Amino acid sequence: MTLLDISPHRIAGLARANVTLVARNRLTFIYAVVLPLLPLGLLLVGDNNSSGAAANAVVTALMMAALFPVYANLLSQFVTRRDELVLKRLRTGESTDADIIVSLALPGLVVALTTSALAVPIAVVLGQDPPLNPLLYGLTVVVTLLLFVAFACWTAAWTRNAEAAQLTSMPVIVLVVLGQVATAFPDNVRRWTDLTPGAAMADLVRVSWFGFETGSTDQTLAFSDSWAAAGEPLLVLTAWAVLAVFLARRSMRWEPRS
Amino acid sequence: MKSTLLSDTDHIEVRGLRRVYGTGDKAFEAVRGIDLVVGAGTVVALLGTNGAGKTSALEVVEGLARPTAGEVRVLGLDPVTDRAEVRRRTGVLLQTSGFPADLTVAEALRMWASTMTSPRPVADALDELDLAGRADVRVRSLSGGELRRLDLACTLLGEPDVVLLDEPTTGLDPKSRRRVWDLISALRDRGRSVLLTTHHLEEAEELADRVAIMHAGRIVREGTPAQLGADQPSTIRFHGVPALVGLGDLPGAIRVATRSGMTTVHTRDLQTTLHALLGHAAETDVRLPNLEAHNASLESVFLAIAAGDNDPDEPATSMEGATR
């Protein structure tokens, strides 16, 4: 599989069909489109003056955007299309493997990117500062989404069918949520949970947008400090992404187990 | 014959192809060294029972799998390393069709067209396979035959030079099957090359310029349907086991078999044997109910090969021995 062997024309055609399919299945649509938009509402109901609450809302929004439209949706689409032998059929044509994966992921990626972008004007309107380091915030979103695309492909490899996906997606979900809830854990436990992708992503959001140092909810970082403060979580998140891509490429399966 | 006629070269070349699944003790050699050539404007049928290795061989030609050993060339190119170029000019039909159940026929075909460099208009393809009236029907509601025709419409959408069909008419009703056969014949007339697998002898006989019979991973016979039949005895059959003495002594007869109340006389010279048999029956006033006389068909060749399935490791040698 060549990662960059893609054609925008083919991806557009395939993604169009995938959007149609997501829209036709009500449950899929709710999980892929409606659910990830909900956490943005947390920004509205949270304490307008507390940047700590706003940070939690943005982290939750981004996590939901990565988990539902990207991870769970891609996993279920991939497994369903594989069972229907659609993936095998497509691979007999001009489409490359990368075309197929990108087009399956694209509708969910658009939803996730929209959510991450919408969070900015909503937060600003509600009295929060715009992201301290927009580039770092954008990078956090991109690496996070790439990680979850790769996680979905890897999980699909050992998911027997669409029903089984509810179970097989648990390890990744736990890995993400663990980092989120870890703020309540004692320090010696958090040393380890900080190594989860969920914690790394949360740290990056706090640093890049709100200028929080690790564990703090006061803006102490200036723009120039934010890169250095982001170093460790960015390294953790990137390492997870590299690992996930490696695992996915190694285990990719395109037709149902016979 | 139009200007679209292609140069007279070999479109598919397979040399010493082997394909092994698994490793070590669990290794299974599905394709055990086959050679195959499909020239421009010809239809070649790969005939064999289930498990003979037809699909395993075809998947390598399709570029879906790499050969364990040997070489495959499609349009002079390697289907894996020259994938983009080969795919643009190849149409593939897999053994089982695969479309998203919730798309309509037209949407599925449009999706497929969007992945192609130069597809024909979707409406033309729908007409050609008699699907225009079903354009807005969801794939999940199609009959098996309609689904197969949708799949074929995709296969032929890019006007491919090389067409690879894995059991194209399995599950089709007689009318749809005839339609597909006509399409395949039309492809040949336009200089395209077709490699198809089938276990329908009638299909191979009707369509194929050349037939390669696969058995236990090897091609055990190859030739035109007539050539293959020529090696086999013709048969005379009739109901009952009449009190005709000396059937085996009829001129040309080589063997007489009786089974389930049918008598079968195998002969190297159908006309002479039949003439003698009818004369004999007339003299002794014996009726021969349901009398049939057949030239050797692909069926008899096929059955002879399947019946020789005692030593899967040595079918090629024993079969060649039988031909010579």
Residue-wise pLDDT for A199-228, tens only, equals 999 999 999 999 888 777 777 888 888 899
Q: Looking at residue B1, what is its pLDDT?
A: 39
Alpha helices by DSSP H, B156-268: 174-189, 201-207, 225-230
Report d(CA A43, CA A21) in Å as an integer.
Answer: 31
Give chain A positions within 8 Å (CB) of B94: 85, 88-89, 92
Residue A133 lies in a domain: yes
Question: Is residue B3 over pLDDT 60?
Answer: no
The most distant pair of C-alpha atoms in chain A lies apart, rounded to whole Å, by: 58
Is the distance from CB of B166 to CB of B143 less than 8 angstroms? no
Q: Looking at residue B55, what is its pLDDT?
A: 93
Q: Hey, is the C-beta of B88 within 8 angstroms of any chain A C-beta?
A: yes
- Strands annotated E in chain B: 10-21, 28-39, 43-47, 69-74, 90-93, 162-166, 193-198, 210-215, 218-223, 234-239, 253-259, 262-267, 292-294
What are the tokens at B246?
């000396």
Please give the residue of chain B at the shortest CA–CA distance from A96.
B84
Count Cα neighbours of A63 within 13 Å in the Cβ-side half-sphere: 27
Give chain B positions within 8 Å (CB) of A90: 98, 115
Q: Looking at residue A164, what is its pLDDT?
A: 92
Tell me how close the Cα of B204 comes to any Cα of chain A, in angstroms: 24
Residue A256 lies in a domain: no
What are the tokens at B267?
């002969």
Tell me how close the Cα of B323 comes to any Cα of chain A, in angstroms: 37
Say whether A81 sits in a helix, a strand or coil: helix
User: B209-244 burial string, b = 16+ CB within 10 Å, else e?
Assistant: bbbbbbbbbbbbbbbebeebbeebbbbbebeeeeeb
Question: What pTM does this model have?
Answer: 0.86
What value of ipTM does the predicted structure carry? 0.89
Q: Looking at residue B172, what is its pLDDT?
A: 86
Is the distance from CB of B113 to CB of B122 less than 8 angstroms? yes
With an 8 Å Cβ cutoff, are A92 and B102 in contact? no
Residue A208 lies in a domain: yes
Is the distance from CB of A77 to CB of A21 less than 8 angstroms? yes
Task: Return mean pLDDT, chain A.
Answer: 90
Residue A257 lies in a domain: no
Residue A198 lies in a domain: yes
What are the tokens at B72?
């495959």
Which region holds residue A23: left if phi is over 0, alpha if psi is between -120 and 50, else beta? alpha
Q: Looking at residue B242, what is its pLDDT?
A: 67
Give chain A positions within 8 Å (CB) of B154: 89, 93
Question: Is residue B320 over pLDDT 50?
Answer: no
Specify the DSSP class assigned to residue A211. Answer: -
With an 8 Å Cβ cutoff, are A93 and B62 in contact? no
Tell me how close the Cα of A31 comes to any Cα of chain B, in angstroms: 18
The most distant pair of C-alpha atoms in chain B lies apart, rounded to whole Å, by: 73
Q: How far is CA A14 from the centre of its chain?
A: 21
Phi/psi of residue B286, each to 5°? Answer: -110, 135
Please give the residue of chain B at the shortest CA–CA distance from A95.
B115
Which region holds residue B171: left if phi is over 0, alpha if psi is between -120 and 50, else beta? left
- Highest average pLDDT, of A65-69, A181-185, B277-281, comes from A65-69
Q: Which residues contact B196 (CB under 8 A, 6 or more apart)?
A: B43, B44, B45, B46, B163, B164, B165, B166, B167, B168, B184, B203, B207, B208
Report d(CA B91, CA B193) in Å as an integer.
Answer: 10
Beta partners for residue B197, in sequence order: B46, B166
Residue A47 lies in a domain: yes
pLDDT tens digit sequence for B77-102: 999 999 999 999 999 999 999 999 99
Is the distance from CB of A81 to CB of A87 less than 8 angstroms? yes
Mean pLDDT, residues A23-51: 82
Phi/psi of residue B49, each to 5°? Answer: -75, 170
Residue A258 lies in a domain: no
Q: Which of residues 165-224 of B touch A (CB under 8 A)?
A: none
Beta partners for residue B239, in sequence order: B262
The length of chain B in residues reads 324
Residue A92 lies in a domain: yes
Which domain covers residue A245, as residue numbers? 3-251
Nearest to B222 by CA among B305, B214, B203, B195: B214
Tally of domains within chain A: 1
What are the tokens at A149?
């695309």
pLDDT tens digit sequence for A59-87: 989 999 999 999 999 999 999 999 999 99
Q: Hey, is the C-beta of B113 within 8 angstroms of any chain A C-beta?
A: yes
Report d(CA B233, CA A104) in Å as an integer.
Answer: 57
